[in-house]
Amino acid sequence: MILLNPNDYKRNYHDEHSREIMLKTIAFFESKGLAKLKNDDRERVWYQDFIDFVKENKIFAHLLTPKADALDEDSRWDMWRIQGLNEILGFYGLAYWYVWQVSILGLGPIWMSKNKKMRRRAAEYLQNGSVFAFGLSEREHGADVYSTEMSLKKVKEGAYVANGSKYYIGNANSADMVSTFGKMEGSDDYVFFVANYNNPNYDLVKNTVNSQNYVGEYRLNNYPVSEDEVLVKGSEAWDVALNTVNVGKYNLGWASIGMCTHALYEAINHASNRMLYGMHVTDFPHVKRMFVDAYAKLTAMKMYAMRTADYMRSASHEDRRYLLYDPMVKMKVTLEGEDVVNLLWDVIAAKGFEKDSFFELAARDIRALPKLEGTVHVNVALVNKFIQNFLFNPKEYPEIPQRDDVADDTFLFNQGPTHGLSKIQFHDYHLAYDLFDTPNIRIFKQQIEDYKMMLVKAPAGKQQQQDIDLMLNVGQLFSLVVYGQLILEEANILKMDVDLVDQIFEFMVRDFSKFAVDLYGRQGLTEEQAAWVPKLIGKANPDFKRFGKIWKEVHGLNGLYQMKP
């Protein structure tokens, strides 16, 4: 089992300090207890106790300071460690994960800049326990950065004033450095500069959400900005905005993985020990099926996210495959998280509403993750840019190993220009699909081949390519091909039980068929294209012996973890 168990934390770290950070974080939450966790959530208590814990142990400082800017030997930007904390924070609640996530986004433009003074300031603030914020979106324009109205006006040599507002900005109430995106007044030149919430010209308008988090609206009113506080200008600022999102969106999948894991423990504990109609709830066939699907989906989510980090850590200007795999973590993993919670909720029913359970929190917050850092629709549209080269124009690359090594992932802050996505090539996906030979993988491989034939024989016309509703379904089918590829690569690395792999691909076959049926009903589909769709519908292989083996594994989670009250 690869799922997180706080009672038996087994994730591998090559240095003791990294493991100590994770164990201390687990201990903080376990000491806090479920009752206090839920009471703070209900009362919307600002999590100063967590921020104080982070400060005392220099957790953000050690995990979020690149080695080049480090003020001590324990600091580096290491995606293996960042994965680990992401999962733990998600396991105990989205609020705690969110303050970490928006700090990562706020640091992105700083670490991507060449501004040594601001980099030094950020490193010092991290050492002192500060949190950070990313001032990108605006009330009228959302994340449409083309239309940003925040302006920076030069008033004299080396001095500027900023005017405008930002909306839906996490940590806006407490960030010592708010990386703020705008335009130079009177031009279309973009700019990133740094603001501080303590400045009297920084007007904190309100918290826009009803939660522990502070997701604020702030206005800058003739806010003074020195030349030293300008991070980047022009096209580089545009690239920094998108590249920061590339770094940050990956984390959303891990928040979903953490929450789903905690919800799974609660659900199996409840269902295994509850009697209905003279039977344990877990004796009902439909309950077994829902639990097995939830477990298989959650395992697949974690496998995909783990493998994606290997490509992010190994990326270079010559190898940008991560630009497909990364938005898939944000898009696909978070959507799967919603499915996992829905399956578990159908089992535990009214129990999922109880105020003293973690599940009630997870059921509410799991919905947020597909909608942050660009909607699912935005990320599917991005993924569609890669279809042609991924499926039809592979390239040879050196094999990427598991990247759990101690290293500083500096390329993430040196990604360069954001154009040319459609030119990125990928290794042959058949290499992964040939690693295992199971009934459901064979069915899924045939679905892929029929999907490719549909794209060749009945391609989308120019007008259809502008039909986002239609292309979303085309992209959902493609995303499953990519999802399966990295799951199989990770299964090979972990030497995963082949029966669990086949159980994963049972739901993959069903999901591919579901998206095909959905495509069939789209208005923009031509008759020629519609004739191909039935070929994409496959019948999964329901092996009862395999199912029974996986169900025994799932049922074995009963009593393995229960958060202390």
Pick the range with the lowest mean pLDDT from 42-56, 204-218, 285-299, 374-388: 374-388
The answer to whether the beta carbons of residues 182 and 220 sit under 8 Å apart is no
- The pLDDT tens digits for 111-147 are 999 999 999 999 999 999 999 999 999 998 877 788 8
What residue type is 563 in one-letter code? Answer: M
pLDDT at 38 over 90: yes
CA distance 514 to 339: 14
Average confidence (pLDDT) over 308-320: 97
pLDDT at 14 over 80: yes
Average confidence (pLDDT) over 475-483: 96
pLDDT at 524 over 90: no
Average confidence (pLDDT) over 449-459: 95
**Residue 444 gets which letter from DSSP?**
H
CA 181 to chain centroid, in Å, comes to 22
pLDDT of residue 1: 79
Average confidence (pLDDT) over 367-390: 84
The answer to whether the beta carbons of residues 106 and 171 sit under 8 Å apart is yes
pLDDT of residue 419: 87
- The pLDDT tens digits for 67-96 are 999 999 999 999 999 999 999 999 999 999
Q: What is the mean pLDDT of the chain?
A: 95
188: buried, middle or exposed (CB in 10 Å: 19+, 13-18, 0-12)?
exposed
CB count, 10 Å around CB of 128? 11
Average confidence (pLDDT) over 91-107: 97
The answer to whether the beta carbons of residues 51 and 63 sit under 8 Å apart is no
- The pLDDT tens digits for 188-230 are 899 999 999 999 999 999 999 999 999 999 999 999 999 999 9
Average confidence (pLDDT) over 416-429: 93
pLDDT of residue 373: 66
The domains located in the chain, with CATH, are 6-130 (1.10.540.10), 134-233 (2.40.110.10), 239-395+425-555 (1.20.140.10)
Selection from 85, 79, 81, 78 nearest residue 54 by Cα? 85
The answer to whether the beta carbons of residues 252 and 84 sit under 8 Å apart is no
Phi and psi at 87, nearest 5°, equal -65, -45
pLDDT at 376 over 90: no
- The pLDDT tens digits for 487-523 are 999 999 999 999 999 999 999 999 999 999 999 998 8
Please report, rounded to a whole number, the percentage of residues in the chain having pLDDT higher than 90.
90
pLDDT of residue 452: 97
Average confidence (pLDDT) over 527-540: 95
Please report, rounded to a whole number, the percentage of residues in the chain having pLDDT higher than 70.
99
**DSSP-derived pairing of the beta strands 131-135 and 175-184:** parallel
Phi and psi at 131, nearest 5°, equal -110, 165
pLDDT of residue 309: 97
Average confidence (pLDDT) over 53-79: 97
Its pTM stands at 0.96
Split at pLDDT 50, 70, 90, the class of 343 is very high
pLDDT at 374 over 80: no
| 3 state SS for 353-383 | HCCCCHHHHHHHHCCCHHHCCCCHHHHHHHH
**Residue 400 gets which letter from DSSP?**
P
pLDDT of residue 382: 84
